[in-house]
Structure 1
Amino acid sequence: MEFEAIGAPAHTRTLVISLVRIGGDRIDASGSIVDVRKRGLVPMASDLQTAGVIHDMRVHAEIALEPARIAAISVEQANVAFEPSLATGGECCRDPGPRITALVGTPLDGESTRRLGAALGGPLGCSHVLTLAQLLLSTAQTGLALDRERFGGAARPDGQRIFHRSLTVDGVLGGDGLHLALQQADVHFAPIVPRADTDPLERLAGRLEIRAQAEIDLDAMVLRSLRAAERE
């Protein structure tokens, strides 16, 4: 299913999550979020926020298995919307980041996103780190469950990828409102011992692609249409 959005490109958000096997029955889960404003400027906090990279952030977690739990988790924020200034009272978007360590030692389960919300949400939280961390932990649950279902306890070499998810949302300003186009691509990697002549497709255990498009009336702030499709 192909989507078309005609207008002026305004904003792109990309999130990428990767799960990699590391030694000692542990999984390295890393995620990144990048927001790019593609036009104009916005007056914010006694300054002008111009086009370019607005957010560039990373969340890194180490997941111990059997049972799955968060052994370590940390945040890096290379680009943030608000640096400390007189207008912010010295506060900064990086301030809430260290609170993510409250997740260390907790199980990777259906309550993980709620625990993240308690640690990073609310008026003193960071919605961007929260969004990325929630996607990272939910993707880890999905990827590890798929791996157990398809391969059981099959061994993998250290450093081998298990699962990869990319999610991109593009915003386009058209004459009739805002068009949002979403694309998600999941890739599950088969556990193999690579050879010099390994066919790259031997690594493909499964894939899933999801596309969605929404049209929004900005004057009324109403969702005018929404459609989606997927393929494996």
Structure 2
Amino acid sequence: MRGEISTARPSLRHPYDWCVDESWVGWQLFRALGEFRQEREAGEAIWDPSIGSGRTMATFVDAGFRVFGSDIVNRIDPDQFDGVLPELFSADFRECEQAPAPCSIVGNPPYSYIPRIAEAFVRKALTLATRRVCMVLPLKWQASQERYPLFAEDFPPQAILVLTQRPSMPPGDRIPALEAAGRAFKGATVDYGWYIWNVREPTLPQQTRIVWLPTLAEPEKLLPIEGIA
């Protein structure tokens, strides 16, 4: 019943790939990129174009950023936020023509319900973001002949931040049943990482950095990454 998006039978997957990440996934990115100091100093917002229930954005809202959230369906969970919600609107990100404000784009995009949709999200984000694009994706996503042009020629990532502690991302519509069985957010089976692009200073081919983030048991080791934060 785990239903991880990259391993589950199609019958167990959510039809729009709505998978709920754990809030620490966004928190680790936030800390690794120096609490998004560059965006804060420039007065820029954060936009999650596949916000789902909102867990990825909880850290940014708590930190006082202006946060936009969009999705095909509004599934926001107010309990993830301390009284202040992101500025929400309904949209298919692939059809968006401009960002709601100068921003970095951060999110957990859909992976598979339409062929190559995750790549479509990344490429769209790279045209709309003011500063950075940060997408959490399976690590196996980087090993692909189809995505070779994206990674090696068109838009090499600045960095891939490996989530050393494996997160669980069950389909959102299965969480109540998993909670009832005592299995929600347990037994993770897929390895993930944050894929980072700096749209202001494009990375040259073969210059992508790989950084391993520490486990949650060693938060003192999670420091701003020099040259990226």
Q: For this structure pair, what is the TM-score category when the shorter chain's length is used for normalisation?
A: under 0.3
**Higher RCO structure (Cα 8 Å, ≥6 apart):** 2
More strand by share: 1
More helix by share: 2
**Scaled by the length of structure 2, what TM-score is found?**
0.28
**Scaled by the length of structure 1, what TM-score is found?**
0.27
